[in-house]
């Protein structure tokens, strides 16, 4: 992309991220270079696009109008460029993928296999807890649990089912009775989980066709599995996790599994993306590998 288009992409990146530093990281350039590029663009336009303080960056009125006008145009330019690239025999370019941390682990074998097969391709894999609008934030694809995929997206199952695990520390189990059914759970000791969309996660159980949902009532609410695991290991209460996040702790005896017969396998992660009129060769090749089960490469 030439210097003029890069300047426009820079404006959108800063508007999207609300930070010169974060935008510079997304664009693969230094903060200084990005600041100079914006200053040159503002000088050529004769208006200030951003209001800057030592603590924040926000769009000016002129900048807000500018972004609203250039965003659709740049989207059309990207489509045209992807269409042109799709004519290449060898995929090249950049794919940006947004995933949850667990989704990142799930997609990594496919990403590595793809890069080995197509040495001219680059992939930027961003993992974060919040559920983002992948189109608005400039991503080509997303990876999330099937239940969290937006309805207007095309979804492709990555195939591997997921299972939840209810766990507590040996110290907690020694001091309390062991629940045999979801109704036995001491809700005040169940750590609450906040989903990326801000809602509190309801623990779902199933056995012999009976489905039970439980609202945790614990004093601790978290939105990061790593922190929740540390809290449970410390004896703070009962946790509800994706099995792979605590499998080693269960095997080593650091955590004790509860209600295992109430947590059957459930649909796993999905790779999702918006409909594209002319996908790039790299985009199409990545989807082809995903459909062919390449995500299992290297996992045994």
Instruction: Summarize pLDDT for 215-242 with one digit per residue, the tens.
Output: 999 999 998 888 999 999 999 999 999 8
Token pair for residue 252?
């080593």
Rg (CA), the chain: 23
Q: How many helices (H) and strands (E) does the chain have?
A: 9, 14
Which three-class secondary structure state does DSSP give residue 298?
coil
Distance (Å, whole) CA 184 – CA 179: 5
Tokens of 48: 């200030």
Does the pLDDT at position 101 exceed 60?
yes
Distance from C-alpha of 224 to C-alpha of 193, rounded to nearest angstrom: 8
Token pair for 139: 């991503």
Kindly list the structural domains of the chain, giving each domain's residue range(s) and its CATH number in brackets, ordered by start: 3-85 (1.10.10.10), 93-160+268-296 (3.40.190.10), 164-262 (3.40.190.290)
Whole-angstrom Cα distance, residue 58 to residue 133? 20
Q: 35-49, 83-97, 187-201, 261-275: which has the minimum mean pLDDT?
A: 83-97
Q: Are 52 and 59 in contact (CB under 8 A)?
A: no
pLDDT-above-90 percentage for the chain: 46
Tell me the two tokens of residue 164: 């939840």
Q: How many Å is the maximal CA-CA distance in the chain?
A: 71
Range 6-31 average pLDDT = 86
pLDDT band at 1 (very low <50, low <70, confident <90, very high): very low
CA atoms within 13 A on the CB side of 127: 10
Output phi, psi for 139, to 5 deg: -100, 150
**Range from 41-45, 112-116, 145-149 carrying the lowest mean pLDDT:** 145-149
Confidence of residue 196 (pLDDT cuts 50, 70, 90): confident
What is the tens place of the pLDDT at every residue in 43-54? 888 999 998 887
* Confidence band, pLDDT 50/70/90 cuts, at residue 297: very low
* Helix (H) or strand (E) run with residue 11 in it: helix 3-17
In this prediction, residues 69-73 reach a mean pLDDT of 87
Query: What's the mean pLDDT when you consider all of the chain?
Result: 87
Examine the pLDDT at 92 and tell me if it is beyond 80: yes
Selected residue with higher pLDDT from 254 and 159: 254
The residues, ordered by sequence, that sit 6+ positions from 180 with a Cβ below 8 Å of its Cβ are 259
Report, as an integer, the average pLDDT of 261-270.
Answer: 86
Q: Which of 181-185, 225-229, 267-271 has the highest mean pLDDT?
A: 181-185
- The token duo for 194 is 């906040």
User: Which among 37, 270, 30 has a CA at the least distance from the CA of 134?
Assistant: 270
**pTM confidence score:** 0.56
Number of Cβ atoms within 10 Å of the Cβ of 86: 16
């Amino acid at each position: 992309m030439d210097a003029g288009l890069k300047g426009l992409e820079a404006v959108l990146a800063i508007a999207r991220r609300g930070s010169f530093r974060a935008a510079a990281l997304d664009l693969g350039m230094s903060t200084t270079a990005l600041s100079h590029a914006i200053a040159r663009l503002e000088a050529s336009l004769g208006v200030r696009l951003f209001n800057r303080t030592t603590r924040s960056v926000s769009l000016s009125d002129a900048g807000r109008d500018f972004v609203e006008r250039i965003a659709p145009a740049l989207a059309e330019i990207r489509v045209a460029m992807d269409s042109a690239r799709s004519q290449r025999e060898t995929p090249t370019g950049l794919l940006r993928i947004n995933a949850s941390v667990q989704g990142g682990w799930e997609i990594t074998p496919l990403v590595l296999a793809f890069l080995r097969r197509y040495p001219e391709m680059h992939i930027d894999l961003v993992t974060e807890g919040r559920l983002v609008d992948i189109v608005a934030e400039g991503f080509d694809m997303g990876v999330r649990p099937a239940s969290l995929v937006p309805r207007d997206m095309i979804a492709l199952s990555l195939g591997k089912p997921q299972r939840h695990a209810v766990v507590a520390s040996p110290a907690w189990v020694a001091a309390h009775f062991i629940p045999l059914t979801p109704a036995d759970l001491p809700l005040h000791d169940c750590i609450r989980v906040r989903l990326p969309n801000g809602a509190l996660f309801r623990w779902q159980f199933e056995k012999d066709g009976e489905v039970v949902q439980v609202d945790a009532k614990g004093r601790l609410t978290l939105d990061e599995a790593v922190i929740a695991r540390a809290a449970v290991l410390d004896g703070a209460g009962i946790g509800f996790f994706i099995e792979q996040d605590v499998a080693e702790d269960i095997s080593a005896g650091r955590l004790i599994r509860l209600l295992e017969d109430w947590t059957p396998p459930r649909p796993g992660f999905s790779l999702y993306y918006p409909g594209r009129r002319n996908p790039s060769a790299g985009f199409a090749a990545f989807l082809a590998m995903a459909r062919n089960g390449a995500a299992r490469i290297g996992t045994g």
